[in-house]
Amino acid sequence: MLIALGALAAGEAVGESAPYLNGIVRSTTSERKDHMPLITTKDNTQIFYKDWGSKDAQPIVFHHGWPLSADDWDAQMLFFLAKGYRVVAHDRRGHGRSSQVDTGHDMDHYASDASAVVEHLNLKNAIHIGHSTGGGEVVRYVAKYGEPHGRVAKAVLLASVPPLMVKTEKNPGGTPIEVFDGFRKRLAENRAQFFLDLPSGPFYGFNRPARRCRRESFGIGGVRQ
């Protein structure tokens, strides 16, 4: 997850694109002994996913934000599962139960990984919901892989990251790279304290008194990655 933040800020943020991802090969299910649901992507990264509900129901695919995992969507997944939808979420590379790789932390790879899950599960007419980094992932996925296969019905973006996060000459309204450098430095120095300090706000609405439990949940989720 620390690798993911550093690489995404320094790579995707300055507009570098993955050199080879113009499509994906057929994904394969992992044979790990614990039998977790995993697929293996073109660059040999394992991606964990959840797939709940009837295979005949319309799918909703959830894309989580940094620094969390598919578990952050459990409440929403259970809600829509009860409404008759098929619900799917995956751990982004470098997060949760997916491979802790130090490469591919840009939106092209993230979208390709999401597409690998969608192709493996053969999801069609899906609603894709993304928060923060997951919103950027949804946009790139829909643009590159949504058509002409009828994979996407709708896209929902919740506080999504912009296409370019870092401040540059062409993006003067972006966030200075020193902010991302500070995140990386604080993560390396004291990971647990960083994830207690960050949601103290304002971040993700966690500075609201009624959200104390959610702040603690964010801190736990971040440390687990």
* Average pLDDT value for residue range 73-94: 97
The verdict on residue 92 lying in a domain is yes
d(CA 80, CA 213): 23
**CA-CA-CA-CA torsion for 216, 137, 148, 87, nearest 10 degrees?**
-10
Beta bridge partners of residue 130, listed in sequence order: 63, 157
Residue 193 has a pLDDT of 87
* Average pLDDT value for residue range 122-139: 96
* Average pLDDT value for residue range 55-81: 95
Q: pLDDT-based confidence at 176, cuts 50/70/90?
A: very high
The verdict on residue 221 lying in a domain is no
Higher pLDDT, 84 or 4: 84
The verdict on residue 82 lying in a domain is yes
DSSP class of residue 13 equals: G
- In total, how many domains does the chain have? 1
Which domain CATH number covers 39? 3.40.50.1820
Domain that holds residue 153: 2-164
The verdict on residue 190 lying in a domain is no
d(CA 133, CA 64): 7
- pLDDT, tens digit (0-9, with 9 covering 90-100), for 105-122: 999 999 999 999 999 999
- pLDDT, tens digit (0-9, with 9 covering 90-100), for 191-221: 888 888 877 765 656 656 665 555 556 555 5
Residue 44: which of 108, 120, 104 has the closest Cα? 104
Residue 73 has a pLDDT of 95
The verdict on residue 36 lying in a domain is yes
* Average pLDDT value for residue range 31-58: 89
d(CA 191, CA 182): 12
